[in-house]
Amino acid sequence: MNPKIWTPRYITNRLGLFVYEQFNKDKPWIAPSAIKWLEANLNKEMRGVEFGSGRSTVWYAHKLKSLVSIEDHQEWFQKVEEQLNNAKLTNVRYVLKSCEKDASGNIPYVDVVKEFDNNAIDFVVVDGKHRDRIALEAINKLTSGGYLLLDDAERYIPIASHTPYNFKREGKTQPEAWKQFSDLTSDWKQIHFTSGVSDTVVLIKP
């Protein structure tokens, strides 16, 4: 753990987020302001895909017409599957896929996004492993006006952020795949949300 990140502002933000999460255990682990925005903008006509499941899965399913959620961890998959069963949701396809390369050199987890037709997804959550590959593949899969939610965005794309793991503040260069993503989405509307601990960005496809 890097002691330099423990500034008074970061400690205050971290405590505030902890308290929020204790009283909102049914909501996604993203910036609270992003949750508020999603509550106002997701609707029952939208088709969603979530990479990286969690307590967010049930929450998104209640907001959307349909949801495909992809997980790579067996024990976590079983836990979320139980939550979905308890909620008696029928609009979710929940799948377990490996994040490791198979004999053909493909990654099953990533390949799920390739199954969708272009312009077929209204909302995609990039919050699991292989985020760069998922984000790049999702560009063509989103409908015009569709939302791409990128969690921990400060680690991947250039945004004005005070969070401790902002790659620019750490003196790092943007990884090549993410630079390609930024170039391809340069004309997309970008909405930035922060908890002061991490950043969530929603990009809206023109």
Section 122-132 average pLDDT? 95
Per-residue pLDDT band for 38 (boundaries 50, 70, 90) equals very high
**Residue 16 identity (one-letter amino acid):** G
Beta strands in 72-185 (DSSP E): 92-96, 121-126, 142-151
Is residue 166's pLDDT more than 90? no
Section 59-80 average pLDDT? 97
Alpha-carbon gap, residue 154 to 199, rounded angstroms? 6
Give the pair of three-digit tokens for residue 203. 């990009």
Mean pLDDT value across the chain: 92
Per-residue pLDDT band for 78 (boundaries 50, 70, 90) equals very high
H-run or E-run covering 48: strand 47-51
| pLDDT of amino acid 2 | 59
Q: Of 146, 135, 138, nearest to 45 (Cα)?
A: 146
**Residue 93 identity (one-letter amino acid):** R
**pTM reported for the whole predicted model:** 0.92
| pLDDT of amino acid 170 | 76
Domains of the chain in start order, with CATH, are: 3-204 (3.40.50.150)
Alpha-carbon gap, residue 59 to 65, rounded angstroms? 12
| pLDDT of amino acid 24 | 85
| Higher local confidence (pLDDT), 26 or 199 | 199
Give the pair of three-digit tokens for residue 170. 């750490």
Is residue 5's pLDDT more than 90? no
| pLDDT of amino acid 29 | 87
